[in-house]
Structure 1
Amino acid sequence: MFFKYQTASNWLKKIQLLLLGIGASAIATLPAKAAEKIYFQYGPIVQSLEVSSLETFAETGVVSPDLQFYFKFLKADKEEQQRFQQVLKSSIKVNLVPISQFLYTPLGENFLNQFGSYIRTDPNINGKYALRAAIILAASDPKGLSLLNLFRKYPTDMWIDVRSSLELSKAAGIVVEATKYFTKTITQLSEEEAKKEVATNFSALADLRQLGNLGVQQKRWQLRDEKRNRSFYVDLYQPQRWRSGKAPVIVISHGLGSRPEDLAKRAEFFASHGYVIAVPQHSGSDMIQLQNMHQGLSRNVFFSQDFIDAPLDISYVLDELERRNQSEFSGRLNVQSVGVMGHSFGGYTVLAVAGATIDFAHLQQTCNNNLEYLDFSLFIQCRVLDLPRQPYNLRDPRVKAVYALNPVNYAIFGAKGLSQITIPTMLEAGTHDPATPAVFEQVRSFKMLTTPNKYLALVEGQAHVDFSVLGSGLMQLIESATYLTLPPPALLNSYSNALTLAFFEVSLLDNPTYRPYLQATYTEYLSRDQQFKVFFISAKSDAGLGEASREFRAKL
């Protein structure tokens, strides 16, 4: 098994070095004086570091006595010091307008307020306004956004609350340790399931990673839900040649800041195998809403109401498919037994339409204790608390199977909400996902599902989004800061396509031909020659996963 994480101690040192750099860049208000010192305060003890020492180190590699003190304290070896130097110098080009607009949104302000509690302008003053000013100033510089450039832009000395920063470091360390521990656990459980399964010669069977042979047609509907005063479009994909019997239907839900077009390849894959695919726009959380925020036309990255409206969009699309089934599809569609799948925010959406219910008490408690572990998706999930605290029944009885990729879900639903799902459910997670950490958002949720037909696929190296499309500068910064090597997107897509097709063929159509694919032996076959593996467990591993969870909690 290939797993690129370093030891926990090395990771903690990396995180602490990054905190040192980020802390040094998070300076206060806007007086004329430039930052000269960083003050680290732990109770009554105060230790300072010259900003010029960091600048000299970043530019020349020379370690001044005061910086050497911190390297010794963190036990940073030469390699880690070189990595830190690279992080200080690495820069990315960012668009000033979008980043400044984001920092004035409620989501951006929550982020600033959280990290401003560690990095202050005074021993007792939150540094959120300083963070915002510093980031905007650095982003406007032609040299790009880097930690070193942030130092040069900051106008006054800063104060780092060491006690709070150590709590953050500990929370980050829990993510690393838990990811390593549960990846090993799921690997072992997957192997145990495979040993008990009937051996299958998958090389002699159809390759589910390939496109089907039925062709694809695409069209777009513009829809208007008068009851909700909501307009949106839906992209539809259907086969050029119909499979025998009723055509199965899948609705795919896009993620935050995304759009239906981004899921075209996935939709075409299913359509080529005989499915009719509907991909609705969620107009309060899509790319258009994100662009409106960037252009100053909205103060929100997304609207909290979309936690309710996005699932209702799916139900409205199903209503529309029923209305047009005879006129546009000659009655071929089976709209009474539908599959849904979604990614990230869309993962929440499809779990909600599958029956999961919002547990406001659990959400409030989790949001109040968000430093117990580091889960950045809580910045999004906690926005549900903006909604009226009342029961929301978003389940659609026509939905009979759900596949959620990297879903944000744990804080919103908890065990009480997830237990309401009674249909076949599959979760997909990635070991390198910084946005919805697998151990907190999928592995833990999988254990809470009570439906007997449940599955979990854990993919090594999968990182929530394809970072390669975000630009070489950002990719370089990610690699230098995290030590991560990411797999080719084509490999990850091949894993997902094969598993989703097998899941829906079995769960929606009860197709016996596909049952061998919905096993751990199949994921072993898929990744047998690959550097990055995919592991698969079912409800059969509940007891083993529960025991591992208890053991890990006892170690904390």
Structure 2
Amino acid sequence: MLLLGALTANILLAFPLGAAEQISFSYGGLMTSVEIESLTKFAETGEVNKDLQFYFNFIAQDQQKELREVLTKEVELDPVMISRFFNTKMGEEILARLGEVINIPYKNNGKYAIRAALVQAAMEPGGLSSIKVLQKLPTSIQINGEKALALAKQVDMFILATETAVQELATLTAEEAAEAPAVNYAELPDLRQPGPYGVEKVVWHLVDPSRDRHFYVDVFIPKGEPQGKISVLAFSHGLSSRPEDYAVGLQHLASYGYLVVAPQHVGSDNIYLQEMLEGYHGDIFDVNDYINRPKDISFTLDELQRRNQSEFAGRLDLENVGMAGHSFGGYTALAIAGAEIDFDNLQKDCDSDLANLDVALLMQCRALELPRQTISLRDERVKAVFAANPVNRSLFGSKGLAKINIPVVFGSGSYDPAAPPALEQAASFTWLTVPDKYWLLIEGQAHVNFTKLDPGISKAIDSTAHLVLPNQDTIYDYVMGTTVAFFEVYIRQDPQGADKYRPYLSSAYAEYLSGQNEFKLYLVSGKSAPKIRQKIDEFLARYGGFSQD
């Protein structure tokens, strides 16, 4: 409690004692205001004072009801966690951008006032709510109408861009499926079911002395596989997660005869996040993990090379490795595949308004802290990559992604707020120059597996956004069915097997998997990339708003 008091005191030092009395709205030379007391009375009782009635003359009754719900909706969040997050570089950037719209007197950026109000409101019984935040503002605020309207238009544009991307993938999936030879998938092996081999999981604890890097690796070893080479897959977990969070999918791949390795990335895992919340780090992740993550993968493959003879009788095929990764791990997979950071492109995007909507861009902008030199992290042993919800667009740009010369799958989710497909994967897919490329999108997938979230975070998300999401088993079915097919075609080094599994890597198979599900799977190949590029150009020509070059 003493620590919390000290943190709150530091936040409030820059402000006069007391509380905000009103919110002003400016647009051009016009200025109007509303008393916070009036908003409080409306939120608590539904009564509308005169100053508030002026605004209500312009909105419908159902919108008034919705406003009251927004004002009173409570979310229980740890005030210390809020304070520490908004003191990180990403958190401060979010506040600074919000503070351009919400000003304090004399048109100063309102970021510190917002942070103070958020922390204090979270300390209230019942948790944080919009009306509590307004009540805790240490000074009156002014809403910049021009910037607020511009942000609202950006949000509308983002929603429209996402809807357009999903609809285009639905159309192209149907077109590719109609052109494909007829296949009765009901008579073929079901790749959603576990493969024929048992799986043993072991944990290795590795030390890379060249980086003083200590990390563990979850290793999934197939048991009872036939004689011959054992194919190898590597996996990179997402930001603030861990290899164990992906165990179901990794075990599934191992059951098809793959040895799967999933290293911990110590500068960007859940332990690092927890340490940040406890005050041991100043940011959510170590920026050097842009370099260290791919090196963790390469070091793990080196370790397999060292153990190959003694533990696997020399049977590991380490010249044809497959790789998958999720989110930050998607970046890792693309970097291992040869993509290089384009600092000029990244700087351009970081200086734009894109970060108002794309949380992933705020994360990518931290890479500007790295030395601005060519960074190649390609591992030639890796011959195909599956990048799920990858953070990538601004980091690599068209130049960086053009460096990839191996097969690639992009995976997306239509509800993904952290790496939205319209901003993070659409243009990137068209920039890939390799002919063997695929883009799959799962309707309703929201970046993370909600069953793996901390219960408190899940409750907070559910209380603020009542999303109807697909069953996690449905998402697993979509991902497992396609990843097995992809690696069987491009990693197994069995021409007959590749021909056997290629029909699964198609739009027709996506339609089969979707069946009667409410949430569909869409999958297109590289031959649809020109039409996607055309749709992007048409959207920009008509609406503008998002640079995709």
Q: 1:27 touches 1:127 (CA, 8 Å); kept in 2?
A: no
Q: Which amino acid aligns with 1:536?
A: L
* Residue 554 (structure 1) aligned with residue 546 (structure 2): no
Matches within 5 A, 1:223-302: 223-302=206-285
- Take 2:392 and 2:266, find their aligned partners in 1: how far apart are those partners? 20
* Residue 32 (structure 1) aligned with residue 37 (structure 2): no
Indicate which of 40, 43, 68 corresponds to 1:58: 43
TM-superposed deviation, 1:55: 2.0
Q: Which amino acid aligns with 1:514?
A: Y
Aligned residues: 529
Rate the CA distance shift 1:69–1:481 in 2: closer, same or farther, 3 A.
farther
Matches within 5 A, 1:422-461: 422-461=405-444
Indicate which of 30, 40, 45 corresponds to 1:45: 30
Question: 1:101 maps to which residue?
Answer: 84
- Take 1:138 and 1:399, find their aligned partners in 2: how far apart are those partners? 50
- Take 1:27 and 1:531, find their aligned partners in 2: how far apart are those partners? 49
SS at match of 2:359: coil
- Take 1:352 and 1:51, find their aligned partners in 2: how far apart are those partners? 50
* Residue 185 (structure 1) aligned with residue 165 (structure 2): no
- Take 1:469 and 1:69, find their aligned partners in 2: how far apart are those partners? 46
Question: 1:161 maps to which residue?
Answer: 144
Q: Which amino acid aligns with 1:190?
A: T
SS at match of 1:268: helix
* Residue 197 (structure 1) aligned with residue 180 (structure 2): yes
Rate the CA distance shift 1:142–1:404 in 2: closer, same or farther, 3 A.
same
- Take 1:433 and 1:445, find their aligned partners in 2: how far apart are those partners? 16
TM-superposed deviation, 1:373: 6.5
Indicate which of 476, 481, 489 corresponds to 2:472: 489
Q: 2:96 touches 2:109 (CA, 8 Å); kept in 1?
A: yes
Question: 2:158 maps to which residue?
Answer: 175
Rate the CA distance shift 1:424–1:71 in 2: closer, same or farther, 3 A.
farther
* Residue 515 (structure 1) aligned with residue 498 (structure 2): no
Q: Which amino acid aligns with 2:154?
A: A
Q: Which amino acid aligns with 2:245?
A: D
TM-superposed deviation, 1:460: 0.8
TM-superposed deviation, 1:81: 3.2
TM-superposed deviation, 1:407: 0.5
Q: 2:322 touches 2:382 (CA, 8 Å); kept in 1?
A: yes
Question: 2:529 maps to which residue?
Answer: 542
Runs of 4+ aligned residues of structure 1 deviating over 4 Å after TM superposition are 26-29, 468-483
Rate the CA distance shift 1:341–1:77 in 2: closer, same or farther, 3 A.
farther
Q: 2:430 touches 2:530 (CA, 8 Å); kept in 1?
A: no
TM-superposed deviation, 1:284: 0.9
TM-superposed deviation, 1:479: 5.8
TM-superposed deviation, 1:28: 11
TM-superposed deviation, 1:63: 4.0
Q: 1:28 touches 1:121 (CA, 8 Å); kept in 2?
A: no
TM-superposed deviation, 1:32: 2.8
Question: 1:413 maps to which residue?
Answer: 396
Q: Which amino acid aligns with 2:369?
A: D
Question: In terms of mean alpha carbon deviation, does 242-251 or 448-457 score higher?
Answer: 242-251
Rate the CA distance shift 1:516–1:81 in 2: closer, same or farther, 3 A.
farther
TM-superposed deviation, 1:472: 7.2
Rate the CA distance shift 1:69–1:188 in 2: closer, same or farther, 3 A.
farther
Q: 2:76 touches 2:460 (CA, 8 Å); kept in 1?
A: no
Q: Which amino acid aligns with 1:105?
A: T
Rate the CA distance shift 1:468–1:217 in 2: closer, same or farther, 3 A.
closer
Q: 1:27 touches 1:157 (CA, 8 Å); kept in 2?
A: no
Rate the CA distance shift 1:437–1:213 in 2: closer, same or farther, 3 A.
same
Rate the CA distance shift 1:121–1:281 in 2: closer, same or farther, 3 A.
same
TM-superposed deviation, 1:471: 6.5
* Residue 212 (structure 1) aligned with residue 195 (structure 2): yes
Q: 2:245 touches 2:452 (CA, 8 Å); kept in 1?
A: no
Q: Which amino acid aligns with 2:199?
A: V
Question: In terms of mean alpha carbon deviation, does 365-374 or 305-314 score higher?
Answer: 365-374
Q: Which amino acid aligns with 1:49?
A: V
Q: 1:430 touches 1:462 (CA, 8 Å); kept in 2?
A: yes
- Take 1:257 and 1:486, find their aligned partners in 2: how far apart are those partners? 22
Indicate which of 320, 333, 338 corresponds to 2:303: 320
TM-superposed deviation, 1:229: 1.8
- Take 1:482 and 1:285, find their aligned partners in 2: how far apart are those partners? 27
Deviations 1:298-345 (CA, angstroms, capped at 9, x unpaired): 112111111011011111111111110111112221111011111111
Q: 2:355 touches 2:362 (CA, 8 Å); kept in 1?
A: no
Q: Which amino acid aligns with 2:29?
A: P
- Take 1:142 and 1:240, find their aligned partners in 2: how far apart are those partners? 54
Q: 1:96 touches 1:140 (CA, 8 Å); kept in 2?
A: yes
Rate the CA distance shift 1:522–1:132 in 2: closer, same or farther, 3 A.
same
TM-superposed deviation, 1:293: 0.6
Q: Which amino acid aligns with 1:59?
A: E
Q: 1:87 touches 1:477 (CA, 8 Å); kept in 2?
A: no
Q: 1:479 touches 1:485 (CA, 8 Å); kept in 2?
A: no
Question: 1:19 maps to which residue?
Answer: none
Deviations 1:48-88 (CA, angstroms, capped at 9, x unpaired): 12212322332233444443444555xx4443433332222
Indicate which of 131, 151, 163 corresponds to 1:148: 131
Identity %: 46
Question: 1:22 maps to which residue?
Answer: none
Please give the TM-score of this superposition, normalised by the length of structure 1: 0.91
Q: 2:75 touches 2:464 (CA, 8 Å); kept in 1?
A: no
Question: 1:532 maps to which residue?
Answer: 519
TM-superposed deviation, 1:478: 4.8
- Take 2:540 and 2:510, find their aligned partners in 1: how far apart are those partners? 29
- Take 2:183 and 2:48, find their aligned partners in 1: how far apart are those partners? 59
Rate the CA distance shift 1:70–1:198 in 2: closer, same or farther, 3 A.
farther
CA RMSD, 1 decimal? 2.0
- Take 1:250 and 1:393, find their aligned partners in 2: how far apart are those partners? 21
